Structure 1
């Protein structure tokens, strides 16, 4: 990881989290009883610039996407703003304030848009609680979208369970067009691929299948998602308030990304989010973006709870 990169370690009896304030405040590692839960680096850790693509970084752990996921250009009262790939804040050095052996506060201020981003990350027993806030520090109203981006490591046969209210998903992108083009709707969890083959979208596959699907759904009214790590005998539960985070992104990647690199992701990202789609520019057009007037604060939270399955 390199001695030059500051590490913050949070611990309970069963959980250990490593946070890198200088690298967007990313949660680089989350271990349950010594078992790593997150995708580990595809490339060595290095400080991020404001121009690199996500695939040029370590592409691992739990980053934050704000004020957009996709790179885009938007118009504001202060002029045009260029939002880079996966947003700006995963690239920024964050200030870290340790509040206890199990709690850290992370803050950063953006330059693309005048947003102050704050997170309190707290470990309590088997649960990670993250409380978020965004503040408009500028003189004009600004738009934003936010998405969590936790990349959970998986093995073939692991199961992603969404509540009964989730009956369909919409394609944002799909490697080799296996699920069709942007906007294609599929039933969840079982569907038919563009080649006519049946597919269980909720079952993790082998990396040799080169799958890379980004999907969206309306957030389950039940407010939870489950990932069952069969080989690790672990269950990971995500809880969030669908009234504040009305959409859910899913990144199902089994060797299908990044293109042109030997090291590939093998993960499932469960991403509570504020918009149906990755682009702030399109969210503004579709009425899914959030707006902060000067001085306004928006806040929300989510939890990750781990348990051993006997």
Structure 2
């Protein structure tokens, strides 16, 4: 199969693209935010992406994320939580829940070895493109490019949002030197309030000390989002299963994607049990906040901002 190939198919009534090598398979739905709905290690038949069990779909542009299928891997851009843009010439324009692009249909084109997807903004003048290819038999690569279609600088947040199937005892691995997190959201304030800081990996919680690097048991009181406070010196994070030896590793350029966020849900949100590693271009979910703290990325007028993400399954 060489470096992989792409074939067109159908899933729950939606056209999809399936990319495969001998060791990895993924399925992408261009009409639903070009989301990834399956990511399989073909050597072990392990499906890494979580599904809510809902039918695929969403309620269209600017709809609530919770009104859609809430499954798989979405792109969050140009913001993460609902907010407004703070500066001219777009001051006051709304950024929807989870951003604009996850709920929109993307234009797709494909060769035998590459899948290209692109979308243009509604409230803001940009074009976001990504190209899927295979860096190796067990690694998928996504090359991103953001083009500013205006003459003014445009600040943004981008984060990957891959909801992963997990089980108790799995281990989160991050680069050395990360010793502190900042809370974005914590159900029942288990880790505290917005912007509270905690040590990593052993964080003080309302129930004592918790090791955040280990996936916990199902607990309807636990759902939290946090960011590491420091910029990354190495763009990498991984989730491993000590029971099977399997792992998923994300690698990305730390100069373009300098932050790392974690979404850990053991039942506190929706009764769901999943986990997300979220490389990000900015911090703390709210674009307004990120711009005020100089922790948002910016693309200059008529400029292009490029980055990539490689996902390896072992």
TM normalised by structure 1 equals 0.92
Q: Which residue of 1 aligns with 2:257?
A: 245
**Separation in structure 2 between the aligned mates of residue 30 and residue 3 of structure 1, nearest angstrom:** 17
Query: Is the CA contact 1:136–1:297 (under 8 Å) kept in the aligned structure 2?
Result: yes
Match of 1:242, SS state, is coil
1:159 equivalent in alignment to 2:164: no
Query: Is the CA contact 1:238–1:302 (under 8 Å) kept in the aligned structure 2?
Result: yes
- What CA RMSD, in Å, does the superposition of the two structures yield over aligned residues? 1.7
More off after superposition, 229-238 vs 27-36: 229-238
Task: Give ranges in structure 2 of 5+ residues lacking alignment.
Answer: 1-9
How do residues 249-260 of structure 1 correspond to structure 2 at under 5 angstroms? 249-258=261-270
Q: Number of aligned residue pairs: give it.
A: 300
Query: C-alpha offsets along residues 20-39 of structure 1, whole Å, 9 cap, x if unaligned?
Result: 00000001110002210011
Query: C-alpha offsets along residues 9-54 of structure 1, whole Å, 9 cap, x if unaligned?
Result: 0000011100000000001110002210011134211144123211
Q: Which residue of 2 aligns with 1:261?
A: none
Query: Is the CA contact 1:155–1:231 (under 8 Å) kept in the aligned structure 2?
Result: no
More off after superposition, 8-17 vs 184-193: 184-193
Match of 1:203 among 195, 203, 214: 214
Query: Is the CA contact 1:174–1:180 (under 8 Å) kept in the aligned structure 2?
Result: yes
Shift of 1:292: 2.6
More off after superposition, 121-130 vs 40-49: 40-49
1:18 equivalent in alignment to 2:30: no
Query: C-alpha offsets along residues 226-272 of structure 1, whole Å, 9 cap, x if unaligned?
Result: 211234431111111111111111111111113xxxxx332221111
Match of 2:13, SS state, is coil
**Separation in structure 2 between the aligned mates of residue 156 and residue 241 of structure 1, nearest angstrom:** 30
Change (3 A) 1:190 1:78: closer
Match of 2:248 among 236, 245, 256: 236
**Separation in structure 2 between the aligned mates of residue 91 and residue 231 of structure 1, nearest angstrom:** 36
TM normalised by structure 2 equals 0.91
**Separation in structure 2 between the aligned mates of residue 3 and residue 162 of structure 1, nearest angstrom:** 36
Q: Which residue of 1 aligns with 2:14?
A: 5
Task: Give ranges in structure 1 of 5+ residues lacking alignment.
Answer: 259-263
1:268 equivalent in alignment to 2:275: yes
Shift of 1:208: 3.1
Shift of 1:7: 0.8
Structure 1 runs (4+) greater than 3 angstroms displaced: 230-233
Match of 2:92, SS state, is strand
Match of 2:201 among 189, 203, 216: 189
Q: Which residue of 2 aligns with 1:90?
A: 102
Shift of 1:139: 4.1
1:302 equivalent in alignment to 2:309: yes
1:31 equivalent in alignment to 2:43: no
